[in-house]
A and B are shown apart, each in its own frame.
Chain A
Amino acid sequence: MTETIVVTDRLTKKYGDQIAVDEVSLTVRRGEVYGFLGPNGAGKTTTLRMLLGLVRPTRGTAKVLGARPGHPAAVARTGALVEGPGFFPYLSGRDNLRVMARYQGVSEAAVDAALERVELAGRGRDAFRSYSLGMKQRLGVASALLGDPELLVLDEPTNGLDPAGMADMRRLIVELAQQGQTVLLSSHLLGEVQEICDRVGVIVHGRLIAESTVAELRGASTVLARAEPIDGTLAAAMRVAGDDAVRLQDGGVHLDLDARRVPELARELVTAGVDIHEIRASERSLEDVFFEMTAGERGDGNGKEQP
């Protein structure tokens, strides 16, 4: 199951002096949901476009399903939704999918199945131009699903969806992965990536600054204790977790401590005679990690290459 579906080697795209993607080397394995995470303008979409052969890399190489990006052997086995859905406005949603099904050479029965899958069957005969943003987005995903591709590349698939639509979309992506389809999705929503992705690549200013599993990225669990007075609390916490593993933040004491040692901490705090308001295990969210990682990267210009 460790077969790689997408491999890039120092993939780079420059537009004039502007460097959009800077030596990105990432690996997507068969059957996983890979989250491509980064703020707006970080180079996520440009990277995905290069993987689909829509944009030529300035430097570096990539292999998608064993072929060069854009080669029919790769494209034919990939379903994609990149930077918003692009459809013929005058055609109905269903006819748009029929056009794409013809281009792919798959049967028209697949069209209705795909519409059903994104819950657009009821509006399939309405003109695409009359669709809401969320419906357009869902049609884009339906189009990507046509022909059961091995690899799905979804650029911000929950863009424009309402909360219920977002939840449906996440469930659909998880289902697809369970069926064995590999999903490469980009997102700036950390919660979303944390919820559905097996592995993530974090991209900031065109550079891939981390690539690992969500669990690895979030690292060890921490424990939060709120008790008064603070001095006694800090001292007790340090006795349990060690001097370097305790931080005071927002009026709470954060300990780098295995959650199984919470009872031990509680006993120590009680012994110290402090008033305990709260003790709980708090896993770092991907968001915390993301902001920590990008703290040094942000605010240092807008991705321009240094001369």
Chain B
Amino acid sequence: MTTMEQGPMRTAIEPTGFRALGASVRGELLRLRKWPTVWVLGGVWLALNLTFAYVFNYIAYATGSGNFGTGPATEGLLADLMPDAIPRIYTGGLPMFGGAIMMILGALAAGSGFGWGTWKTVLTQGPGRLVAFAGTLAALGVVVVTILVAQLALDFGASVLIGTVESQTLGWPDVGELAKSVGGGLLISAMWAAAGVLIGVLTRSPALAVGLGLVWSLVVENLLRGVANLISELEYVTNVLPGTAAGSMAGALGATAEGEGDGAPGVLTVLSGASSAALLAAYLVVFAVAAAAAMRRRDLA
């Protein structure tokens, strides 16, 4: 038998295990980092967050017209714009708006590969299906963390700026509270992103996945909660929906609930912080595992 006198064969990496996972994450991160869609989605979320959490409220305070014209222009409004308020403000927009954007991100990242044929290409590179898919999930996790860290930095920047302009004494948030809030925000975001990935894998179509996902998170859950006010038995179901868990997480962290006048849409006080955290983590795991299972069995055209 002849030996092949060429460069290193593809067995250069162990095809399974942590090196293959690392290789998959590196590959996926490269293509996500260079994907304009990721930057657009991240940028839109940061802009929304800045606008609704800081810009509008500051204008309302500065012009004395109250929060969105509904509440009195109190010192409370300014207090929400200070750095020490970040732990309770940070997650306010995540259950509905941030979550929706994370879901779009997940749905596009997982669903596009079927139409482009890139799943087929990626899955013939070496790492096994589960390892390659885990690499995608991990890389998406890195993107989500990056966006949330950027949001935190932006929130600090905005609150310090406003505090300085208004000549306030800048109080700093309690580190423990801040960590809880960022952790809660991460759970909410990761859960919605995983939901997006699952719908993307199941529908194999980014457009259908995004559409269905948004209808669910923005419309269906709210309608169900409305119906649950009439049929109380339905509450057993609506109390454990993904959106309820996400909203309750934000509510437990101090965001003003949507029922309370100027509260943020999607923020709820149905579940305790601990229950909503547990439920979010459970959904995150179930969505990721279900998506991986579907991916493992699927025939790839």
Contacts and interface: CB of A to CB of B under 8 A. Distances in A.
B124 interface: yes
A78 B124 contact: yes
B13 interface: yes
Contacts of A71: 128
A79 to B, nearest CB: 8
A103 B125 contact: yes
Given A31-B2, A70-B129, A82-B120, A95 B12 contact: no
Contact of B35 (A49, A55, A88, A180): A88
A54 B300 contact: yes
- For the residues of A in contact with B, the DSSP-based class is loop
A179 interface: yes
A105 to B, nearest CB: 3
Interface in B109-154: 116-129, 131-132, 135
A143 interface: yes
A281 to B, nearest CB: 35
Contacts of A3: 1
A148 B7 contact: yes
Contact of B116 (A87, A99, A110, A147): A87
A56, A80, A106: which has the most chain B beta carbons within 10 Å? A106
A300 B156 CA distance: 73
Interface residues of A, number: 49
A102 B299 contact: no
Interface in A65-108: 70-73, 75-80, 82-91, 95, 98-106
B132 to A, nearest CB: 7
A75 B15 contact: yes
Given A91-B31, A103-B126, A103-B132, A76 B4 contact: no
A52 B7 contact: no
Given A77-B10, A88-B31, A105 B20 contact: yes
Interface string B1-39: 110111111111101100110011011101100111100
A149 interface: yes
A32 interface: no
Contacts of A73: 15
A76 B10 contact: yes
B23 A87 contact: no
Contacts of B35: 88, 90-91
A106 B135 CA distance: 17
B203 to A, nearest CB: 18
A102 B23 contact: yes
Given A55-B299, A76-B15, A90-B36, A104 B30 contact: no
Contact of B27 (A56, A70, A86, A102): A102
Given A1-B1, A148-B8, A87 B121 contact: yes
A104 B117 CA distance: 18
A150 interface: yes
B6 A85 contact: no
B27 A99 contact: yes
A99 B7 CA distance: 20
A52, A86, A95, A148: which has the most chain B beta carbons within 10 Å? A86
Nearest to B6: A148
A75, A85, A87, A105: which has the most chain B beta carbons within 10 Å? A105
A88 B10 contact: no
Contacts of A77: 9-11
B129 to A, nearest CB: 7
B4 A86 contact: no
Contacts of A78: 10, 124
Contacts of A101: 27
B6 A105 contact: no
A179 B1 contact: no
B7 A86 contact: no
A147 B117 CA distance: 21
A40 to B, nearest CB: 16
B298 to A, nearest CB: 9
A72 B16 contact: yes
Contact of B9 (A30, A52, A95, A148): A148
A72 B300 contact: no
B116 A95 contact: no
B27 A100 contact: yes
Interface of B: 1-2, 4-13, 15-16, 19-20, 23-24, 26-28, 30-31, 34-37, 116-129, 131-132, 135, 297, 299-301
5 closest residue pairs by CB, A with B: A86-B117, A72-B15, A105-B13, A102-B27, A76-B126
11 contacts: A53-B129, A56-B297, A75-B124, A75-B126, A82-B120, A84-B117, A85-B117, A88-B118, A90-B35, A99-B27, A100-B125
